[in-house]
Amino acid sequence: MKVRIAVLFLFLIGTTVYAQQASDSGYPVKIHVTSCFMQMTLVGMDSNVLTHLDVMIDGKKFQLTNFKKGEGLKILHPGNYQARIKIDKEKKSGADTSYESETVYEIRFPDGKTREYLVSGESE
């Protein structure tokens, strides 16, 4: 009886670890949020709230902005999150455009919900 319980326990642990690894594989980018702040903008009679994140991705500092209306109404706690790149393209405006880019990350939260953020700043 004890052997069966031990085998079942090991099976459940292995399944949980595999499920976590499989879900992380779809979001391979590790993002460390260091700060978050909100900004309200007024355009005519409409108001919009943007959420700005200061983050570290692969040792580089970026600012990310939530750009979808109605999604940026809560502060995101600092910490580590999984993400994936949704859009990654260079601006095509001339001969050499290696100095410009447009990138959107989709961050997945621990409850499985996701939110898109545009790279709105980059620093050394």
Q: What is the pLDDT of residues 4-49, one digit of tens each?
A: 564 445 555 555 444 444 456 799 999 999 999 998 877 777 777 8
Instruction: Name the 3-class secondary structure at 75.
Output: coil
| Cα 111 from Cα 73, distance rounded (Å) | 18
Residues 6 or more apart in contact with residue 97 via CB below 8 angstroms? 90, 91
pTM of the model: 0.72
Which residues make beta-bridge pairs with 57? 31, 60
Instruction: Name the 3-class secondary structure at 66.
Output: strand
Q: What is the pLDDT of residues 87-114, one digit of tens each?
A: 887 655 555 667 888 899 999 999 999 9
Residues in the chain: 124
| Cα 109 from Cα 111, distance rounded (Å) | 5
